[in-house]
Amino acid sequence: MRATTTGRASSKRALGKSAAFVFVFVLALIWLVPIIMMLVVSFMPPDQRAPRFGGLLISGVSLDNYVTVFEDAEIVMHFFNSAAITIPSVILVVIISSLAAYALARLQFFARDIWFYLLIMTLMLPIPTLVVPIFQINKSLGLNDNYAGLILPYTALGVPFAIVILRSFFANFPIEIEEAARLDGCTRFGIYWRIMLPVSWPAVAVVIIWQFMTSWNEFILALVTMNSVDVKPLTLVPLVYSGQFMMRPGPMFAILTLITLPVIVVYYLMQRFMVSGLTAGAVRG
Amino acid sequence: MGGMTRRWLIDNQGLFFMAPAMILFVVFVLYPIFYIFNASLYDWDGINEAIYVGIQNYIEMFTNDRAFAVSIRNSVYWTLLTIFPQMILGFILAYILTSGVPLQNVFRIIFFMPAIISPVVLGIVWQRIYAPFGGLLADFGLAIGARFLIQPYIADPKIAIFSTIFVNVWQWTGFSMLMYVAGLQGLSQEVLSAAEVDGAGARQRIQHIIVPMLRHVHLTLILLGVIGTLQTFALVFMLTKGGPNHATEMLPTYIFLKAFRLQSMGYASAVAVVLLLIALSASIFQVRFLGSRFTIGG
């Protein structure tokens, strides 16, 4: 009697599992359609005029669109601009946020909690509320059309989230090791630099990935800060060439694919940190 | 300058560690907040002398500005129609993808992928999906004889906002899924197996144990969802530019339009103040009274 009940229950469970697999499999295929479409259109032969199914069906595979993009669109220059904005902002966020997070986790100082709450408040601010003043600040500092005009605000807006992640990581680190180092004459900065920072690399990795993605994909501040084509990062490139490639989806989608490639690569390399890390921290959309 | 000051500096050496973060915060966050409050009281094109108008911009906004009213309405739609569908679908996916189905890591990567792609890119791709002539949905509808799929998805003011919201749900469901995956992995296995021994079926376990125990994940997703909604810009800007006729306008696209296309920096600042107050009060309410957190770990 008992055996048949368990038998029926386990076959019911197996059935449920197969149904669940079919459900996620079908949904995953649908989920991928826009991304597949982006790739397929980018390989569309230039003589194909009107692609059917939005471009999911093409008459052949060709690399001509990529050739066009590299010849006509200075894509390498824009790639360099994105890197020149993203990399310094990532480095600055790591240094500045880890210093602050160490102080917030371990040191007593004047108005500590007030500073922490003010920094957390930044996470609640929609970036578009700041776009007019940041544009004016950059204008008066002569930083519009300048990499620094984006590096500094990206750093300022990225630091609070990084502090949230690093502070809880530092706070969970056993204090005895620190005290031992203090007795050996290590300064506070020495503890931060030689002990805390090296042991926190998983949290630092999360900060690096997250800041890389936000800086690389940021749009509204880039849109108002960079007016000259020479300094525009990749996110603005579709707008720059939307007129030129309006009737030619092939080159446009080649550009979209090239913009997306670096984030996919970084995500793929780092995704084992990402799952634990993203969830250990929050996100600014 | 003597022993006292020296002593104070040593006791407060944390301030030196904090200094770079504080300076950036003051220049790029605190000062801009004061700036928009001040600028919102002026009629100013950004170039010529600003004219003080008191609260005239706010009066205009709340009594005589249809685009502003539409933006507020759209923000309500967006909040309700993105956050909860993303949470429900994200939870279902996370539940399945932590139950040991084949290829579950591959599936997780697939569902999360749209979240890392720039909304600028996705906006252009979805224009082709929605295009009434030669677009993916329209051609698919023709091919299978489902003519209702042929719609002016983003050109019809009545449905454009919902078409835009749909893209957002597609983009961010994977993020909700990932948060629930982490939450589910953190659940106590003892409680779950105890429930199973007591004869609780899968549905009862989900309803009475798993969902309540993931309360902190739900709260985090709602908090992040509200903030995400209130700063939505790139997707709308690329897909519809806030049109047709403001039908998909959100507060950020309206701020951009006023400030950088219509050169009304003062009015745009007033809209920014309203957006700031909505965002802060909604977030502080959740953090203070519901106990929402920006992180689900720790």
**Sign (positive/negative) of CA torsion A52, A56, A58, A63?**
positive
User: Is B260 close to A224, i.e. CB distance below 8 A?
Assistant: yes
In the prediction, which pLDDT does A12 show? 72
Say whether residue B82 is in contact with chain A using an 8 A CB cutoff.
no
CATH number of the domain that residue B41 is part of: 1.10.3720.10
- Give the whole-number percent of chain B exceeding pLDDT 90: 66
Residue B182 forms part of a structural domain: yes
pLDDT at A285 over 50: no
Residue B281 forms part of a structural domain: yes
Query: Which residue type is seen at B293?
Result: R
Give the nearest chain A residue to B94 (CA atoms).
A24
User: Please, how many CA atoms are within 13 Å of residue A226, restricted to the half-sphere of its CB?
Assistant: 26
- The pair phi, psi for residue B49, each rounded to 5°, is -55, 135
> pLDDT tens-digit profile of A103-134?
999 888 888 899 999 988 999 999 999 999 99
> pLDDT tens-digit profile of B148-175?
888 889 989 999 999 999 999 999 999 9
User: Is A129 close to B11, i.e. CB distance below 8 A?
Assistant: no
pLDDT at A203 over 70: yes
Q: How far apart are CA B201 and CA B183, in angstroms?
A: 20
Highest mean pLDDT, choosing among A46-50, A273-277, B220-224 = B220-224
Q: Which residues in chain A have Cβ-Cβ distances shorter than 8 Å to B17?
A: 99-100, 102-103, 107, 188-189, 192
> pLDDT tens-digit profile of B98-148?
988 899 989 999 999 999 899 999 999 999 899 888 788 888 888 888 888
Residue B298 forms part of a structural domain: no
Domain that holds residue B251: 37-290
Interface of A with B in 51-70 (CB under 8 A): 51-56
In the prediction, which pLDDT does B33 show? 96
| CA-CA-CA-CA dihedral for B74, B79, B83, B88, to nearest 10 | -80
Contact A145/A231 with Cβ under 8 angstroms?
A: yes
Q: How far apart are CA A157 and CA A97, in angstroms?
A: 11
Contact A99/A163 with Cβ under 8 angstroms?
A: no
pLDDT at A5 over 70: no
Whether the link from the prior residue into B244 is cis, omega within 30° of 0, is yes
pLDDT at A1 over 60: no
Residue A55 to chain B, least CA–CA distance (Å):
7
User: Is A54 close to B114, i.e. CB distance below 8 A?
Assistant: no
Residue B14 forms part of a structural domain: no
> pLDDT tens-digit profile of B186-200?
887 777 777 777 777
Say whether residue B275 is in contact with chain A using an 8 A CB cutoff.
yes
pLDDT at A284 over 50: no
Query: Which residue type is seen at A166?
Result: L
Q: Which of B46, B136, B252 sits opposite A126 (nearest CB)?
A: B252
Per-residue pLDDT band for A180 (boundaries 50, 70, 90) equals: confident
Residues 6+ apart with CB under 8 A from A71: none
Q: Which of A107, A132, A235 sits opposite B268 (nearest CB)?
A: A132
Contact A285/B232 with Cβ under 8 angstroms?
A: yes
User: Is A279 close to B297, i.e. CB distance below 8 A?
Assistant: yes
* Complex ipTM value: 0.89
Q: Which residues in chain A have Cβ-Cβ distances shorter than 8 Å to B180?
A: none
What mean pLDDT, rounded, does chain B reach? 91
User: Is B125 close to A188, i.e. CB distance below 8 A?
Assistant: no
In the prediction, which pLDDT does B298 show? 43
Say whether residue B165 is in contact with chain A using an 8 A CB cutoff.
no
Say whether residue A105 is in contact with chain B using an 8 A CB cutoff.
no
pLDDT at A272 over 80: no
Which tokens belong to A9?
Answer: 């229950």
> pLDDT tens-digit profile of A77-96?
999 999 999 999 999 999 99
Say whether residue B28 is in contact with chain A using an 8 A CB cutoff.
yes
- Closest alpha carbon to A65 in A48, A52, A88, A77: A48
Give the nearest chain A residue to B20 (CA atoms).
A96
Task: Record the pTM.
Answer: 0.90
Angle (nearest 5°) at CA B248 between A229 and A213:
45
Query: Which residue type is seen at A267?
Result: Y
pLDDT at B258 over 90: yes
Instruction: Convert A45-61 into a string of H (helix), E (strand) and C (coil).
Output: CCCCCCCEHHHCECCCC
Say whether residue B29 is in contact with chain A using an 8 A CB cutoff.
yes
In the prediction, which pLDDT does A281 show? 44
Residue B30 forms part of a structural domain: no
Say whether residue A231 is in contact with chain B using an 8 A CB cutoff.
no
- The number of beta carbons lying within 10 Å of the beta carbon of residue A135 is 19
In the prediction, which pLDDT does A145 show? 94
The average pLDDT across B38-47 equals 92
User: Is A133 close to B111, i.e. CB distance below 8 A?
Assistant: no
Domain count, chain B: 1
In the prediction, which pLDDT does A80 show? 95
The average pLDDT across B41-46 equals 91
Q: Which residues in chain A have Cβ-Cβ distances shorter than 8 Å to B234?
A: 219-220, 235
Determine the residue among A13, A21, A24 to mutate to test chain B binding: the one whose Cβ has the most chain B Cβ atoms within 10 Å.
A24
Domain made up of A66-280: CATH architecture: Orthogonal Bundle (1.10)
Determine the residue among B47, B83, B105, B116 to mutate to test chain A binding: the one whose Cβ has the most chain A Cβ atoms within 10 Å.
B116
> pLDDT tens-digit profile of A16-52?
788 899 999 999 999 999 999 999 989 988 777 666 7
> pLDDT tens-digit profile of A126-179?
999 999 999 999 999 999 999 999 999 999 999 999 999 898 888 888 888 888
In the prediction, which pLDDT does A15 show? 80
Query: Which residue type is seen at B191?
Result: V
Say whether residue A194 is in contact with chain B using an 8 A CB cutoff.
no
Higher-confidence residue of A176 and B227: namely: B227
Residue B31 forms part of a structural domain: no
Residue B22 forms part of a structural domain: no
Give the start-to-end residue ranges of the domains of chain A: 2-62, 66-280
Q: How far apart are CA B275 and CA B278, in angstroms?
A: 5
> What are the b/e assignments for B164-199, b being 16+ CB within 10 Å?
bbbbbbbbbbbbbbbbbbbbbeeeeeeebeebeeee
Q: How far apart are CA A54 and CA A37, in angstroms?
A: 8
C-alpha distances out from residue B92 to B47, B141, B283, Å: 53, 28, 26
> pLDDT tens-digit profile of B66-92?
999 999 999 999 999 999 999 999 999
Residue B281 to chain A, least CA–CA distance (Å):
9
